[in-house]
Structure 1
Amino acid sequence: MAGAGPGQGAGRRDRPDRGADTHPHWGDNGHPPFLDHYHDAARGHRDFVSHIDQSLEEYLRGCTFRLEERREPRPGQLLPALR
């Protein structure tokens, strides 16, 4: 694919998916002083992906409400639709 960045386009399926905590470009991720940091970052990444997969629309609607109304919505209050 012309103009595609690293990891995009043709050939991506040919490379293994190592995951965030084992990718070689993350430096010395096997070195004991850094191991917990990399595993914690990978856990955070997985939690974030799970969050956006399950509730991104609701989250964005809540953000839109807070930005427009400058307050938190009351329980049961309708949130604005995404445009």
Structure 2
Amino acid sequence: MTKLFGTNGVRGVINQDMSAELALDVGRAIGTFMQGKVAIATDSRTSADMLRALVSGGMTSAGSSVVDLGMLPTPALQY
């Protein structure tokens, strides 16, 4: 893996670049940094539900409140 974060979010191949443990750790790091209400959304890939649950769990465990916006196009979440 050369780069984890791209211009529109986290990039990588599931179970190669992005493991379940890494997704949880990324969520925990974001939750620790943000400390408050955080919105999360996904695209339509088959791995989206698993990643959303892991990242949300990490953010929640760090004390953040997660607002799940479901599936959205990237520009909608950036707004």
TM-score (norm 2): 0.29
Identify the structure with bigger relative contact order (alpha carbons < 8 Å, sequence gap 6+).
2
Structure (1 or 2) with the larger CA radius of gyration: 1
- Which protein has the bigger strand share? 2
TM-score (norm 1): 0.28
Select the structure that is richer in helix.
1
